[in-house]
Amino acid sequence: MEIRRLHLLLLLRGFMLLSVMGNCYARFVVEKNSLRLTSPEKIRGTYDSAIGNFGIPQYGGSMAGAVVYPKENQKGCKSFDDFGISFKSKPGALPTFVLVDRGDCFFALKVWNVQQAGASAVLVADDIQEALITMDTPEEDRLAAKYIENITIPSALIEKNFGEILKKAISGGDMVNVNLDWRESVPHPDDRVEYELWTNSNDECGVKCEMLMEFLKDFKGAAQILEK
């Protein structure tokens, strides 16, 4: 009898929780930027890409580069030094954007390995056809925390189909040039800068939350100035 009563209470609490959640208006935004494929002409066009939640996107600006797809370490999970691969641009040439495949390791590790090899930006091709998601940082990984804070290049996730288009063009010997544009990712209804601060109420989620709390402390003074 007591067990049955407990089950009923748990079901009631679950129903109440769902009812409250159903009456709340929640929003999850995948922050996107525009990716314009400028060459080759036969596949020229504008495509969406989802901005990585680490590194330094060029908010309010744009960046042009030439896309390369490595013949080895295509998922970017290992150091490119192990393969003798460098993505440093030659003097006078466009910056190098490296295309890697999703899977087998954290998004942030892929970007870190590509940055260490000298690239200016990273495009990660999804491995399934789905709506774009935000590439986030791994939780509770102290080793990852050491390199995440040192990632300085922008990165973006692109859809699987678009990734296949880029790979086909590159393998065919075409010069693939793209322009990453972050100007529309910044809200600008007027001349004011607008920002959103997203946080987590869970203070026991490890390294990620420790980094968040430090940021909140450091951001307090800047937020007070912005409010004025």
pLDDT-derived band of residue 134, with 50, 70 and 90 as boundaries?
confident
* Amino acid letter, residue 178: V
How much is the pLDDT for 7?
41
In this prediction the pTM is 0.70
Please tell me the distance from the alpha carbon of residue 99 to that of residue 47, in angstroms, as a whole number.
15
Please tell me the distance from the alpha carbon of residue 134 to that of residue 187, in angstroms, as a whole number.
18
pLDDT-derived band of residue 167, with 50, 70 and 90 as boundaries?
very high
Task: Check whether 138 has a pLDDT greater than 50.
Answer: yes
Segment among 17-26, 114-123, 185-194, 208-217 with least mean pLDDT: 17-26
- Torsion, CA 185, CA 187, CA 191, CA 192, rounded to 10: -120
Please tell me the distance from the alpha carbon of residue 62 to that of residue 66, in angstroms, as a whole number.
14
Please tell me the distance from the alpha carbon of residue 76 to that of residue 102, in angstroms, as a whole number.
9
pLDDT digits (tens, 9 = 90+) for 18-55: 333 444 444 456 777 788 999 999 999 999 888 888 88
Q: Is 93 left (phi over 0), alpha (psi -120 to 50) or beta?
A: beta
Residue 160: both structure tokens together: 């699987």
Sorted by where each starts, the structural domains of the chain and their CATH numbers stand as: 35-185 (3.50.30.30)
Coil, strand, or helix at residue 125?
strand
Task: Check whether 146 has a pLDDT greater than 90.
Answer: no
8 A C-beta contact, residue 145 and residue 211:
yes
Longest dimension (CA), the chain: 80
pLDDT-derived band of residue 213, with 50, 70 and 90 as boundaries?
confident
Task: Check whether 165 has a pLDDT greater than 70.
Answer: yes
Between 226 and 130, the higher pLDDT residue = 130
Between 169 and 188, the higher pLDDT residue = 169
Coil, strand, or helix at residue 128?
coil
